[in-house]
Chains A and B, each alone.
Chain A
Amino acid sequence: MKILVVEDDADTLTYVARGLGQLGHTVDKVESGDEGLHLASSSPYDVIVLDRMLPEVDGVTILKSIRVAGVKTPVLFLTALDGVNERVEGLDAGADDYLVKPFAFSEFAARVHALGRRPVLAKVEPVLKVGDLEMDLRRRQVKRAGRLVDLQPQEFKLLEYMMRNAGDVVTRTMLLEHVWDFHFDPKTKIIETHMSRLRSKIDRDSDTPLIHTVRGAGYSIYAPE
Chain B
Amino acid sequence: MRRSEFLRSTGVRFTLLYVALYLLATIVLLVTLYLIEARSLDQDIRDRVDARVEELEDAYGLGGMPEVIEDIEARRRAHVKLRTFYRLTDATGRVLAANLPEIPVIPGHRKFAVEVDVQGAPEHIRVVARTVRIGGATLTVGVEPVWREAIDSLFVRAALGTLVAAVLLGGAIGALMTRRFLRRIDAITSTVVDIMGGELHSRVETRDTNDELDRLAAGLNAMLDRIDVLVTETREVTNSVAHDLRTPLSRLGRRLEEARDAAGTAEGNQALELAIEESAGILETFNAILGIAQVEGTMSAKTFTTVRLSDILVTLGEAYGPLADEEGRPFEVDVPPGVEVRGDRALILQMLSNLIENALKHTPKGTPVQLRLERAGGGVRVIVEDRGRGIPAESRDRVFDRFVRLEASRTTPGNGLGLSLVAAIARLHNIQIALEDAGPGLRVVLSFPRSVPDQAEVSSRAPLPVQGLTA
What residues of chain A have their CB less than 8 Å away from a CB belonging to chain B?
81-85, 100, 102, 152-154, 180-190, 193-194, 197
Contacts and interface: CB of A to CB of B under 8 A. Distances in A.
B273 to A, nearest CB: 11
Contacts of A184: 291, 350, 353
Contacts of A189: 323
A85 B294 contact: yes
Contact of A85 (B284, B298, B349, B353): B298
B226 to A, nearest CB: 21
Contacts, number: 64
Best-buried of A82, A154, A193 by chain B (most CB within 10 Å): A193
12 contacts: A82-B287, A84-B299, A181-B315, A181-B346, A182-B319, A182-B350, A183-B346, A187-B357, A188-B361, A190-B323, A193-B322, A193-B323
Nearest to B325: A193
B346 A188 contact: no
Given A82-B287, A193-B322, A193-B323, 11 more contacts: A82-B291, A83-B294, A84-B344, A85-B294, A85-B298, A181-B346, A181-B349, A183-B346, A183-B350, A190-B320, A190-B323
The 6 closest A-B pairs by CB, nearest first: A193-B322, A83-B294, A193-B323, A154-B318, A84-B346, A184-B350
B322 A194 contact: yes
A190 B291 contact: no
Contact of A188 (B287, B303, B318, B360): B360
Contacts of A83: 290-291, 294, 298
Interface string B306-331: 00000000010011101101100000
A134 B318 CA distance: 24
A190 B331 CA distance: 14
A85 B298 CA distance: 9
A186 B323 CA distance: 12
Interface residues of B, number: 29
A153 B290 contact: no
A188 B298 contact: no
B392 interface: no
A72 B303 CA distance: 28
Interface string B33-61: 00000000000000000000000000000
A188 B418 CA distance: 13
A66 B350 CA distance: 33
B353 to A, nearest CB: 6
Nearest to B414: A187
A182 B322 contact: no
B315 A102 contact: no
Contact of A180 (B287, B294, B319, B326): B319
A100 to B, nearest CB: 8
Interface string B279-293: 000011001001100
A104 to B, nearest CB: 9
B413 interface: yes
Given A83-B291, A85-B299, A188 B347 contact: no
Contacts of A102: 283
B287 A182 contact: no
A83 B418 CA distance: 15
A190 B319 CA distance: 7
B315 A180 contact: yes
Contact of B357 (A152, A153, A186): A186
Contacts of A100: 287
Contacts of A181: 315, 346, 349
Contacts of A81: 290
Nearest to A183: B346
Contacts of B318: 152-154
Contacts of B287: 82, 100
B288 to A, nearest CB: 9
B351 to A, nearest CB: 10
